[in-house]
Structure 1
Amino acid sequence: MRKREGRPVFGKKKETQPKAPTGDSLGIYIHIPFCRSRCDYCDFYSVAGREDRMDSYQKALLAHIKETAPLAQGIPVDTVYFGGGTPSFFGDKRLRELLGAIQKQFQLTQDAEITLEANPDSVDVRALRRLRKAGFNRLSLGMQSACPAELESVHRPHTVQQVDQAVAAARKAKFKNLSLDLIYGLPGQTMDSWKATVEHALSLIPQHLSCYGLKVEEGTRLAARVAAGEQLPDDDAQADLYLWTVGRLERAGLPQYEISNFAKPGMESRHNLRYWLTRPYIGFGPGAHSDFGGRRYSFVRDLDGYIDGVLRGGSLIDSEELIPRRERSGEYLMLRLRTAQGIEEWEYRGTYFMDFAPLEARLEQFCDKGWAERTAEGRWRLTPQGFLLSNQLIGDLLERQEQSELSDLLPRARQQFTKRKGE
């Protein structure tokens, strides 16, 4: 996608502003890129050793929030998510100021879910209490592993003991919605060590668990290590870890609701569900993405560039595109099939005016192989075995969707040609 100069989404020209969506609520994402240190596997936009820019970044975020809020006037905001980076490393005073600005500028609902990502080494009881009183009501801790050697292998900045202390601090601060992040497939990890990690996490009684398979992202230190010959658990080993996890967490009362996410009933991440259910959201910060008013856009992945773009009117937009409703049918398949909710024929037909039959025929074949299932409510979803092949299976369905659309367009094209020829 071609990079656009200036800020077309937030410019003064009326035609470049996104049209406010109607009949839906809105989510807000705040990206805090600062970290104490960078983990070997991390591909998110983050910076270490740039604490000198925190105050300028705060000023830019506050200005950007104030500038953007009028575009969402009258739209209820029911989820706010502070991600990173390490938001807790940014300091509770700045975080409270940012949330206060959102509460003032946007129309937050009384039951809004307000999440803070944190590393176990960067929180304490006093800071968490202040954050809780300011309105944060969901905490997501990056635990990753309960094995010290595995944490050290990817240069995580915390210890297992600090995880336990952070959870205890969260409980004392009266956080009732706690999520823990775990990673399977770490260097040196075995089935026994992964089981120990999951059991340790369950002993902390979280309301939500995110369990991610380790991916070697290009340009990371982990990618360089693998290129140099380091061995990681292979795909088959990761599949075994994953399938065991799905069963164990189901028995523990945290059923799977998305490929990588598990929660007690009613405690699913409402903000993350926005992405998978294609609901609108606005992001702030370098590398942050938005989907608002039928337009998708993202900001530059550069701390200084973002600050300069907001405060001095420099280049801010990295990419921007208008997404017609019909083209979102592919997103419906890609994102909904990540969830346990899955897809439904008349939901698809009624929203995108497309034939579901070719997809259903293929889903029935997937069902025969144990990769998909039809629920009692008539919805189609992937099984845990199907989730392991989700990229391949969803790609197959997207091809059939495209073929169906082309076959639908051809008769109409012929009709138009015949009509023009007879004029």
Structure 2
Amino acid sequence: MIEKLGIYIHIPFCRSKCDYCDFYSLAGREDRMDQYQKALLAHIKETAPFAKGYQVDTVYFGGGTPSWYGAKRLSELLAAVRRRFLVARDVEVTVEANPDSVDRKMLLLLRRAGVNRLSLGVQSACDRELAAIHRPHNFAQVRAAVDAARGAKIKNLSLDLIYGLPGQDEASWRETLEKALALKPEHLSCYGLKVEEGTPLWTRVAQGESLPDDDAQADCYLWTVERLGQAGFRQYEISNFARSGFQSRHNLKYWMGKPYIGLGPGAHSDFGGRRYSFKRDLDAYIDGVLSGDAIVEESELIPKRERGGEYLMLRMRTARGIEEWEYRREYYMNFEPIEQKLAEFEHQGWVARQDRRWHFTTKGFLLSNQLIGALLEAQEKASLSELMPKAKEEFGGGGRPEENGPSPRA
């Protein structure tokens, strides 16, 4: 069976920078858009030969604000991907957008180009809260953007929301979620606010501004899980909820450890056993691609043992969770210390076991960082040397050589 591949294309341009954002994004750099387009098209052409034998089944335009980049450029990039890569007929193509930078005409152009999923950055239904984090839109523009998407026949709509915002309480969060549900999306991403060092919000907090505390965020989270379940949304990852059939296939690649290639400054890839990333510098990326200079910032081959840790860390973020023989078969590592720890968590009501799979409960998801850390510590107690011969005898080694990945320009 041909292996599937995801492609992520980073669009670092924004109309304005939000106070909480620590992604690599830039406001006021529209003068570099045309040159950036040339660089991306060249990079797509350069990268495609490494993916021979793979079928692209997801394409994701993230940012930044891809909708600020314009439908014409995004359509040209998507056409280049189709021309250079083997693309599945049912490929999922997602574009992130802000409500203020889309209209029906633009979304019609994107849909005709092949975009079939829109991820809209709503964050809050309260205009006061949006202004407090310097979002460039209000909620009336959210409604207009959703109407435009439906008018353009986009049938897979995701809304991003944040709880824990400045000035927000549980009542206003509940109002935000109810107004989001009234828009009838197929997917909701509900994130607890995290204050990242170096952002304007970090400075504001350091200067004394208060935010909803961890307990307040926990209350919002627990209510959200219950309310979305009632509304027909299944939680399939800590912060992600979808109606049946509308899980984000692209984001699942990250959590399930599947291969993906990223393009653009700051973009990360995990392909052929190698993880690598590009410089977080727009000008250096453009100049490097167009001149043939180095653009890779970090690159490393990931050994099986580390992959085993990633399996625990990423899969436990999902509702699917982990399974003993899946772990043993793939990584040749002893599961017993992990199972002992999971049994302790089960006694506390933090994990549950279903059909031989372990997964976090809603309460467990609240403590996921600490619990996953404990599982990784338990993994260190496993003896790889003891299990390796037995696993190889039982399963015949198997697996693809770790060195068969691309050789990105370093």
Q: Same fold (TM over 0.5)?
A: yes
Verify: 1:254 aligned to 2:217, yes or no.
no
Partner of 1:16: none
Deviations 1:384-423 (Å, cap 9, x if unpaired)? 11111111101111011012137849999xxxxxxxxxxx
Query: Deviation at 1:370?
Result: 1.0
Write the distance in 2 (CA, Å) between the matches of 1:319 and 1:387. 31
Query: Deviation at 1:326?
Result: 3.0
Verify: 1:138 aligned to 2:114, yes or no.
no
Deviations 1:271-319 (Å, cap 9, x if unpaired)? 0000000000000000000001110000000000100110012230010
Write the distance in 1 (CA, Å) between the matches of 2:28 and 2:388. 57
Partner of 2:407: none
Aligned residues: 390
Verify: 1:314 aligned to 2:297, yes or no.
no
Q: Pick from 200, 209, 223 the counterpart of residue 188 of structure 2.
A: 209
Partner of 1:281: 260
Partner of 2:331: 352
Verify: 1:223 aligned to 2:208, yes or no.
no
What SS does the aligned partner of 2:251 have? helix
Q: Which amino acid aligns with 2:205?
A: V
The worse-fitting range, judged by mean Cα deviation, of 138-147 and 308-317 is: 308-317
Partner of 1:108: 87
Partner of 1:403: 381
Q: Which amino acid aligns with 2:359?
A: R
Deviations 1:2-45 (Å, cap 9, x if unpaired)? xxxxxxxxxxxxxxxxxxxx852000000000000000000100
CA distance 1:411–1:310, shift in 2 (3 Å): closer
Query: Deviation at 1:372?
Result: 0.5
What SS does the aligned partner of 1:256 have? strand
What SS does the aligned partner of 2:338 have? helix
Verify: 1:392 aligned to 2:374, yes or no.
no
Q: Pick from 85, 88, 100 the counterpart of residue 64 of structure 2.
A: 85
CA distance 1:158–1:367, shift in 2 (3 Å): same
What SS does the aligned partner of 2:294 have? coil
Write the distance in 2 (CA, Å) between the matches of 1:101 and 1:94. 11
Query: Deviation at 1:353?
Result: 1.2
Deviations 1:198-255 (Å, cap 9, x if unpaired)? 0000000000000011000010000000000000000010000001000000000001
2:327/2:333 contact within 8 Å kept: yes
Write the distance in 2 (CA, Å) between the matches of 1:148 and 1:88. 21
CA distance 1:122–1:200, shift in 2 (3 Å): same
Write the distance in 2 (CA, Å) between the matches of 1:219 and 1:247. 34
Taking structure 2 as the reference length, the TM-score comes to 0.93
Partner of 2:279: 300
Q: Which has the higher contact order (CA 8 A, sep 6+)?
A: 1
Q: Pick from 133, 141, 163 the counterpart of residue 154 of structure 1.
A: 133
Verify: 1:164 aligned to 2:143, yes or no.
yes
Partner of 2:408: none
What SS does the aligned partner of 2:56 have? strand
Write the distance in 1 (CA, Å) between the matches of 2:368 and 2:386. 27
Question: What stretches of structure 1 of length at least 5 have no aligned partner?
Answer: 1-21, 413-423
Q: Which amino acid aligns with 2:118?
A: L
What SS does the aligned partner of 2:118 have? strand
Write the distance in 2 (CA, Å) between the matches of 1:405 and 1:191. 47
- Counterpart mapping for 1:360-375 below 5 A: 360-375=339-354
Partner of 1:40: 19
Q: Which amino acid aligns with 2:17?
A: R
Deviations 1:28-83 (Å, cap 9, x if unpaired)? 00000000000000010000000000000000000000001011113110000000
Partner of 1:415: none
The list of structure 1 runs, each at least 4 consecutive aligned residues, that deviate by more than 6 angstroms after superposition, is: 409-412
Write the distance in 2 (CA, Å) between the matches of 1:278 and 1:49. 35
Q: Which amino acid aligns with 2:365?
A: F
Verify: 1:182 aligned to 2:123, yes or no.
no
Write the distance in 2 (CA, Å) between the matches of 1:145 and 1:69. 39
Write the distance in 2 (CA, Å) between the matches of 1:405 and 1:280. 28
What SS does the aligned partner of 1:25 have? strand
What SS does the aligned partner of 1:309 have? helix
Q: Which amino acid aligns with 2:150?
A: R
The worse-fitting range, judged by mean Cα deviation, of 220-229 and 397-406 is: 397-406
Deviations 1:333-389 (Å, cap 9, x if unpaired)? 0000000000001111111111111111111110111110111x1110011111111
Write the distance in 2 (CA, Å) between the matches of 1:92 and 1:410. 52
Taking structure 1 as the reference length, the TM-score comes to 0.90
Write the distance in 2 (CA, Å) between the matches of 1:331 and 1:179. 27
Write the distance in 2 (CA, Å) between the matches of 1:157 and 1:286. 23
Q: CA RMSD in A?
A: 1.5
Q: Which amino acid aligns with 2:69?
A: F
Write the distance in 2 (CA, Å) between the matches of 1:23 and 1:224. 49
Partner of 2:404: none
CA distance 1:409–1:151, shift in 2 (3 Å): same
2:2/2:55 contact within 8 Å kept: no
Verify: 1:118 aligned to 2:82, yes or no.
no
What SS does the aligned partner of 2:121 have? strand
What SS does the aligned partner of 2:356 have? coil
Write the distance in 1 (CA, Å) between the matches of 2:383 and 2:20. 39
Q: Pick from 285, 289, 302 the counterpart of residue 323 of structure 1.
A: 302
